[in-house]
Amino acid sequence: MIRLAISKGRILEQALKTLKKVNISCQVDPLNSRKLIIPTNLQNLEIIIIKASDVPLYIDSGKIDLGIVGVDTLMEDDKNNHFRLRDMTISKCKLVVAGKAKTKYFNNMKVATKYPKVAKKYFENIGFQCSILELYGSIELAPVLGLSDFIVDIVETGKTLEENGLREHDIIANVSSLLIANKVSYKLKRKEIDSIIGKIKL
């Protein structure tokens, strides 16, 4: 049995559409069910629905064989205990630094983000020290209300930034979703995994 983890939200919606195009379908609709382990029309494939940040942990542990997860999550996880098999070319967006238009970078600035490792590393690489505030919702509010000077967050269209008086200052990375595999699983179940991957023609 091959277990494929897909992170909740936009990635799940788009991944299901991609799988459906190659005749891989769920026996229960993951978007309208609380079931977390979903059987598919393939006898040897189950889909596991989990939070994006948990996908690398489950993959690295070997409890799950394959995962579809955003590059941003893998950048923050930063362990690389997996093989990156394929860019699924879904859920495309950008990981950016944003803030008020006239705010400049300075040492010991405050940066709000749910990507603390990525943010700290980015600013260190361009020569600035910063204080990280970990937030996990409505991050755009932080600079608007003066809680932080900048944010590091995912942006798709930039409309939310614009409507809250913020703008992009830098792009840290262009993001899409990757298909990854546990290293041991890929060696032991190579034939089964390749058979499933072979169906996904992008």
**In this structure, are residues 173 and 95 in contact, taking their beta carbons and an 8 Å threshold?**
yes
Average pLDDT, stretch 87-105? 96
Q: What percent of the chain has pLDDT over 90?
A: 91
pLDDT band for 80, please (50, 70, 90 cuts): confident
Average pLDDT, stretch 191-202? 83
Residue type, 78: D
Looking at the domain 2-91+176-199, which fold is it? D-Maltodextrin-Binding Protein; domain 2 (3.40.190)
**In this structure, are residues 155 and 168 in contact, taking their beta carbons and an 8 Å threshold?**
yes
Taking only the tens place, the pLDDT of each residue in 150-186 is: 999 999 999 999 999 999 999 999 999 999 999 999 9
**In this structure, are residues 66 and 180 in contact, taking their beta carbons and an 8 Å threshold?**
yes
Is pLDDT larger for residue 136 or for residue 3?
3
Residue type, 188: L
* Count helices and strands in the chain by DSSP H and E runs: 8, 11
Distance of CA 20 to the CA centre of its chain: 21
Q: Indicate if the pLDDT at residue 69 is higher than 80.
A: yes
Class of domain 93-175: alpha beta
Domain with CATH 3.40.190.10 in the chain: 2-91+176-199, 93-175
Full-model pTM = 0.90
In this structure, what token pair is assigned to residue 63?
């409890």
